[in-house]
């Protein structure tokens, strides 16, 4: 976690410590499956994403000294949406989240939550809760006491606290562990306590900063599905920070891809993966073949580019591009087809030689050389079960790659 100073004169670190107010504030809980039907939380309150805006960032800038952490970001997050901020380390995701939470104040621009300008509203007066990667549980308190903490602070009647804690723990599948201390729990269980604590007071928005980062791969995948299911049940807006593209694709309704403090693209997982709007997004999300060239014309609704050695490719461009524009052609390895050479080359086909063949279980990854300076990666799904190695492509074999233009993009940035 970064430490900085805000307009209240507190360091960020201090604010976190002074206001486990993530804790003091609203909370709700998560459930899976049948448990949700037994609870009195606002389950299903807005199971669908609505058109109303939960959070808006208007031309927000955040500077730390000379570092521009967030660079003129404008963004609207809808009510009930599972929205992810995705990008490499240092791109400004956490700073954006911390400004929404109120732990940092924007250097310029404004943040609105449900239409209300936040200004310098401190974290504990914002209708949001935050769940951090470091669960920040109170070590000396039991699970139940940790979850109850926010309600205790608000002097909620004892009987109600008991009922809500019970519900919350059922929802995160921790019933029976009420009396344990955090150190007696696994990482996944501690994370569930943090979620229960963050959700029990019914926040309008839950902010999650790499909440699954400390979990091992298997647990992380389980928790991803659980969190997603929970979010759909309780209908709260989730803003989720991650640098893991697969995690963002799995969980999100929409994703904002960030780099160097800017938002490069906002879209659904399919839009981001299938129609990246620039080279950075295409590269950051999934894997792809890139080929540099210049535009040499159009063919119907395709843009045609030519490489320095004279190869031509067709693909979809996001906007009309004049001839000679330098561009990058991008095609995902699973979209390229590999055929045996058989007479004439098909449209969008290129002759090549298989260089390497890597069997990885679900698919086989093949690298094909198409000339002395260029290779193309092709992934073939292993749809048939066979142990016969001769059934797979062999290094040295002649092959034809086909790059369907509807599956290829011509990127100009
Ligand atoms: P990560 O995934 O590594 O957490 P991030 O995308 O969340 O990265 P931020 O934490 O928002 O990125 O940081 C953005 C930039 O701002 C980085 O260059 C970082 O070093 C800088 N930064 C963040 N907080 C502070 C601070 N309190 N003081 C000085 N610089 C900071």
Cβ pair 234, 171 in contact under 8 A: no
Measure the CA–CA gap between 196 and 146, rounded to whole angstroms.
Answer: 9
Angstrom CA distances, 333 to 140, 152, 231, 370, 380, stand at: 52, 55, 33, 15, 8
Predicted TM-score (pTM) of the model is: 0.82
Sheet arrangement for strand 128-131 = 128-131, 205-209, 237-242, 82-86, 254-259, 262-267
Measured by CA distance, the residue closest to atom 15 of ligand 1 is: 69
**CA-261 nearest atom, ligand 1:** 14
Q: Which residues of the chain have pLDDT under 70?
A: 1-50, 135
CA of 300 from ligand 1 middle (Å) equals 45
Q: Which of 11, 94, 210 to mutate to test the pocket of ligand 1 (most atoms within 8 A of CB)?
A: 94
Residue 192 has a pLDDT of 86
Task: Determine the 3-state secondary structure of 158 from DSSP.
Answer: helix
Cα angle 301, 306, 312; round to 5 = 70
* Predicted confidence (pLDDT) per residue in 252-273, tens digit: 999 999 999 999 999 999 999 9
**CA-96 nearest atom, ligand 1:** 11
Structure tokens, 151: 């309600």
Cβ pair 98, 57 in contact under 8 A: no
* Predicted confidence (pLDDT) per residue in 239-250, tens digit: 999 999 999 999
Measured by CA distance, the residue closest to atom 18 of ligand 1 is: 90
Burial of residue 289 (number of CB atoms within 10 Å: 0-12, 13-18, 19+): buried
Burial of residue 274 (number of CB atoms within 10 Å: 0-12, 13-18, 19+): middle
CA of 88 from ligand 1 middle (Å) equals 11
**CA-5 nearest atom, ligand 1:** 27
**CA-98 nearest atom, ligand 1:** 11
CA of 15 from ligand 1 middle (Å) equals 17
Residue 48 has a pLDDT of 60
Domains contained in the chain, CATH given: 12-280 (3.40.50.300), 287-411 (2.40.50.140)
Measured by CA distance, the residue closest to atom 1 of ligand 1 is: 89
The strand pair at 262-267 and 254-259 is best described as antiparallel
Measured by CA distance, the residue closest to atom 23 of ligand 1 is: 2
CA of 292 from ligand 1 middle (Å) equals 32
Measure the CA–CA gap between 152 and 154, rounded to whole angstroms.
Answer: 5
Query: Strands, DSSP E only, in 101-153?
Result: 108-113, 116-117, 128-131
Residue 186 has a pLDDT of 86
* Predicted confidence (pLDDT) per residue in 102-147, tens digit: 999 999 999 999 999 999 999 988 989 888 777 678 999 999 999 9
The set of protein residues with a Cβ atom below 6 angstroms from ligand 1 is 2-4, 12, 64, 67, 69, 87, 89-95, 243
Measured by CA distance, the residue closest to atom 29 of ligand 1 is: 64
Query: Strands, DSSP E only, in 243-288?
Result: 254-259, 262-267
Measured by CA distance, the residue closest to atom 30 of ligand 1 is: 64
């Amino acid at each position: 976690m970064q430490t900085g100073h805000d307009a209240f004169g507190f360091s960020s670190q201090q604010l976190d410590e002074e206001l486990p107010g993530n804790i003091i504030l609203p909370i709700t809980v998560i459930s899976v499956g049948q448990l949700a039907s037994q609870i009195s939380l606002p389950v299903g309150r807005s199971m669908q994403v609505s058109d109303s805006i939960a959070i808006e960032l208007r031309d927000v800038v955040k500077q730390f000294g000379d570092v521009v952490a967030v660079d003129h970001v404008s963004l609207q997050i809808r009510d009930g949406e599972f929205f992810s901020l995705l990008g490499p380390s240092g791109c400004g995701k956490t700073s954006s989240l911390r400004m929404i939470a109120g732990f940092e104040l924007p250097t310029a621009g404004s943040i609105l939550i449900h239409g209300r300008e936040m200004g310098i509203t401190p974290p504990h007066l914002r209708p949001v809760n935050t769940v951090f990667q470091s669960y920040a549980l109170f070590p000396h308190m039991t699970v139940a006491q940790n979850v109850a903490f926010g309600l205790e602070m608000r002097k909620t009647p004892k009987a109600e606290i008991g009922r809500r804690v019970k519900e919350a723990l059922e929802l995160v599948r921790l019933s029976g562990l009420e009396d344990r201390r955090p150190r007696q729990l696994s990482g996944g269980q501690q994370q569930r306590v943090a979620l229960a604590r963050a959700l029990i007071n019914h926040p309008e928005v839950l902010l999650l900063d790499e909440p699954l980062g400390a979990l091992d791969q298997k647990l992380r995948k389980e928790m991803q599905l659980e969190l997603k299911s929970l979010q759909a049940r309780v209908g709260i807006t989730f803003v989720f920070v991650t640098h893991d593209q697969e995690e963002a694709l799995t969980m999100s309704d929409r994703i904002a891809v960030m780099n160097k403090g800017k938002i490069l693209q906002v879209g659904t997982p399919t839009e981001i993966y299938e129609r990246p709007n620039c080279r950075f997004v295409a590269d950051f999300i999934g894997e792809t073949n890139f080929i540099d060239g210049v535009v040499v014309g159009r063919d119907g609704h395709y843009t045609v580019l030519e490489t320095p050695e004279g190869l031509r490719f067709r693909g979809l461009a996001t906007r009309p591009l004049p001839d000679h524009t330098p561009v990058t052609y991008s095609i995902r390895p699973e979209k390229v087809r590999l055929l045996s050479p058989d007479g004439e080359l098909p449209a969008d086909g290129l002759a090549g030689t298989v260089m390497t063949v890597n069997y990885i279980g679900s698919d086989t990854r093949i690298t094909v050389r198409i000339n002395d300076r260029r290779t193309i990666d092709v992934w073939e799904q292993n749809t048939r079960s066979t142990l016969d190695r001769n059934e797979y492509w062999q290094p040295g074999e002649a092959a034809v790659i086909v790059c369907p233009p509807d599956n290829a993009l011509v990127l100009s940035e």
